[in-house]
Chain A
Amino acid sequence: MPELVQAILQGDRRALARSITLVENDTAQGQQTLDALFPKTGKAHVVGITGASGAGKSSLVNCLVDILIQQDPKLQVAVIAVDPTSPFSGGSVLGDRIRMRAIAENPNVFIRSMASRGALGGLAHNTQAVSLVLDAAGYDFILVETVGAGQSEVEIASLAHSVLVVEAPGLGDDIQAAKAGIMEIADILVLNKADKADVDAAEMALRSMLAMGYPSTKTDGSVWVPPILRTVATDGKGVAEVVNAIQAHAEFLHSTGTWQQRDQTRLRAFLHGLLERKRNQEWQQFIQKEEFKQVLKKIYIHELSPYAAVEQLQSISFLKNSH
């Protein structure tokens, strides 16, 4: 077993941080490390935290982790906090740690900031790979905070066992995320900033939105109806109830067999993502080729239609091989 892998399994945090970088950077060594660690994965409970920018995701993570560790001091909790990469410079400022003061020095907590590096789903391409490294390293909970951009960042649903959607009053529209698919991926709805005056209106809006998605009110245990929970993440009010809901959700998943289903969804999404990127790289190489340029030239002079071009290209290189 490689030295780095052994060190990770022995709890060496420096080795863990190093290998996360290797995985994040798509290096061969990172892939080998993950290959070796993979049989040790599959134990962690991955919790996604998504919602509009400024809703209080990081502040909530801070309180959630704090309470989890207080409840069980043996617990190991990791946080992956994703922030956007600037499309102009390729750089980024990752600021989620600012709100995670209470847990920053806890030896049972490992916080890692990640730039999205051009991925659009609210995560980075390698976020799941990093979560697997943390899983193998023995972290019981892995909290993943998504980019707080908008409404179509639903990729977290195929990475997490439980998804928390954080809403807050006063972020512009009635309820920001409700418009798009965000509500459908919520296992738990957190209405944060409950200290604000317009929280009642926000909760009403959330409830009616939820009623549309879950018209039946039956609670015989077979259907999980996302609870709406009020919190004040700046002082921790209501967060213990969110922890309870996360634990209840895990029990629900286990008792109904859906835990395994979600696990399989996660791994399938991971594999699909990898294949897609691999294919994309091959494509990037292919379009450097002379045949491609020739075909393009014929399109430019309106001699060959793009559809006919695809037919022609398919008989060349990798398009053919991979069919």
Chain B
Amino acid sequence: MEEKKIRVLIAKPGLDGHDRGAKIIARALRDAGMEVIYTGLRQTPEMVVQAALQEDVDVIGLSVLSGAHMSLVPRILDLAKQAKLEDVRIFLGGIIPAEDAKALIKLGVKAVYGPGTSTTQVVEDIQTLFEKA
């Protein structure tokens, strides 16, 4: 019997060593019935995009706390485009100044979440994306 699950890649590009938040999100998405591919710390943009391609995910959730989001995220968007992953939705979590968030959304990031965001919010946002589809 046909069975489709939302697949999400949770990745931590860059050099910061904190993945507590990423793990919490991963668990919340699992508890909402999604299949979460968790790749761990210190992923290069190439690793993120390769994993997204091989795992055929619907969503990439990036967590960036190092402040390097303005170099990492555009690079990932770029590589994703080269890999023809245009229909993969990219979410970003971390401490992202409003200006940067705006710029990144313009570049193609679907949503940016600050440190106070509840996991329910993220779960709902992803679910609504795929209910409409």
Contacts and interface: CB of A to CB of B under 8 A. Distances in A.
A189 to B, nearest CB: 28
Interface stretch (B43-51, B63-71, B92-100, B101-109): B43-51
Contacts of A281: 1
A14 B84 CA distance: 8
A93 B30 contact: yes
B47 A104 contact: yes
Contacts of B83: 14
A98 interface: yes
A89 B39 contact: no
Contacts of A86: 30-31
B31 A112 contact: no
A97 B51 contact: yes
Interface in A41-91: 85-86, 88-91
Contacts of B46: 105
Contacts of A117: 3
Given A25-B2, A26-B3, A97-B40, A91 B50 contact: no
B54 interface: yes
B56 A94 contact: no
Given A97-B39, A98-B38, A115-B5, A91 B54 contact: no
Given A14-B83, A17-B53, A111-B54, A91 B34 contact: yes
Contact of B31 (A21, A89, A94): A89
A91 B38 contact: no
A20 interface: yes
Nearest to B42: A101
A89 B127 CA distance: 14
| Interface residues on chain A, size class | 20 to 34
B22 to A, nearest CB: 11
Interface of A: 13-14, 17-18, 20-21, 25-28, 85-86, 88-95, 97-98, 101, 104-105, 110-113, 115, 117, 281
Given A26-B1, A97-B39, A89 B33 contact: yes
A91 B37 contact: no
A110 B54 contact: yes
Contacts of B33: 89-91
A316 B19 CA distance: 58
A21 B55 CA distance: 8
Contacts of A88: 31
Nearest to B48: A104
23 contacts: A14-B84, A14-B85, A17-B56, A18-B56, A21-B7, A26-B3, A28-B2, A89-B30, A89-B31, A89-B33, A91-B30, A91-B34, A92-B35, A93-B36, A94-B38, A95-B40, A97-B38, A98-B39, A101-B47, A104-B39, A104-B50, A105-B44, A117-B3
Contacts of B26: 93
B82 to A, nearest CB: 11
B29 interface: yes
Contacts of A97: 37-40, 51
